[in-house]
Amino acid sequence: MTAEFTHLDSQGQAHMVDVGAKPITHRQARAQGLVRMQAATLRLIQAGGFAKGDVLAVARIAGIQAAKKCADLIPLCHPLLIHHVSVEINLDEADNCAVIVATAGLHGQTGVEMEALTAVSVAALALYDMCKSVDKTLSIDAIRLVAKTGGRSGDWFYSPEP
């Protein structure tokens, strides 16, 4: 499959894609990422033992705020009227990590993939910030788009290579 970069003009210069002629459709995107940590850190989050407050609530709010500010953070993103953003964080005791899933939706002329990815990224950073004083081994991993629906290119779902 040959793909072209849509944010480059014929001279190779960056530009914002003109979506004005595209039809308005319902679009949704879901992204996911992990924050890996020590088992003791995960237990401390579960127990609510952080002086800074509720780690998961702060991370969730940070992710939602980030999705709404995506166009301010990513230079060529369109400002979008998002009708829904959710950030879910589940603690995985078997792998000592927080699994962050963000979903964003709208009725518009361009997708919300970047908003969902930004929500996951900033939620992970906020969780990292809240926990860094007790765990220097924290890592943010595997941030990726896992699904998108709507738009001209249709639906897409992440499938790892065999």
Known catalytic residues? 129
DSSP conformational letter for 119: H
Longest dimension (CA), the chain: 56
Going by C-alpha positions, the residue among 139, 140, 127, 137 that lies closest to residue 53 is: 127
Q: How far apart are CA 133 and CA 125, in angstroms?
A: 14
Orientation of helix 39-47 relative to helix 113-131, angle to 10°: 90
82 with 67: CB under 8 angstroms? yes
Q: Which amino acid, residue 73? A: L
Going by C-alpha positions, the residue among 29, 33, 32 that lies closest to residue 148 is: 29
